[in-house]
Each structure stands twice: as structure tokens, then as C-alpha cells.
Structure 1
């Protein structure tokens, strides 16, 4: 899910555990507020490889407990990829 209101991209802890992804400890823990308003301490992140139209992007994604979906691509990802979003047709176009 793409969420421009989410400052940092997030991956659910269950996916990290399921696929035994290597995590890195954050130098300073973050307080993260979920969509449900609950707060949690975030202590780890992973570097995620995202391929869009043959172009690979690396982004650090914090690991947290999410209700749903399992991955949120946040504002940091939107800045990195700079897509054009057509809100009327729900289409996203990425620069070449």
C-alpha cells in the first residue's frame, strides 16, 4: 500500500520473520504511531530492494507490527521514486 501520510516505509514483523530477513538495529529507537492510534517502539529496519520498470531502488524500511497491509510504502519512498499519481484514474506513472 502507498501511504503519503506515512513518514517512513514499514514492513510487518511477521514478513521479516517468515522470510528470515536480516535486520539492522536502529541507532536510536523510534516511536511509531499506527493507523489505529497505538504507539510502538521501533528498533530495527531492513534494506528493501524495489524494482520499478527495471530500475532498482534501495530503501530502508522500518520493522513494526502492522494490522494490514504487510508493507506500507511511505513518503520516503514517494520522494525516492517521484511518481505521478492520477487520483481520478488511480494510476501511478514512474519517470523513465
Structure 2
């Protein structure tokens, strides 16, 4: 799950863990990722696996690392929740509106 080290993403990853899912916790700040991972392990049923990946989803190399790490650890990907906390300053009237994303 992208953006799972705080806010809405953190709540979603904790819910998935409570329901017994093995989760990937990712974001740009390693200390926040580690904190959420420890909380997830406390909340989840025994035997749950987590994966911590520091990644910036605006960077292709980081996305590749995130996917390859996930597949290597869990051998598959069942659910992807895209929850990046990115803001783009543009209005619909900007002629380059689409390229800003």
C-alpha cells in the first residue's frame, strides 16, 4: 500500500492487518514506516508478515523496488491501495494541466 506510513493510509493498512492480511508499509520516511510496522505487528493475528519499503511513488525506480520487493517477499500481490500524499498545484484551466500529474 502506498502512503501507508501516516494518516488515511496508516488506518487502512492497520485495518487490513487486523483482518489478517500480510501488508507492505511504504512511504518516504523510514522512521514513520518502522513505527507503523511495529503497531501493525501488535494489532495483527499471529504469523502476520509485514514488509517495510522506503519509496517515493513519484520515482519510477522506487516503484520498481516496491513491486519487486513485494513479489519477492509474498510471491504475489492481491490488493493494491494507491494512497500517495502528493499535491499538485494546477487548475483545470492550465493548458498543461494533464502534464502536471
Q: Which TM-score band (shorter chain)?
A: under 0.3
Higher share of residues assigned helix: 2
Return the TM-score normalized by structure 2.
Answer: 0.27
Q: Which has the larger radius of gyration?
A: 2
In terms of fraction of residues, the more strand-rich structure is: 1
Q: TM-score, normalised by structure 1?
A: 0.28
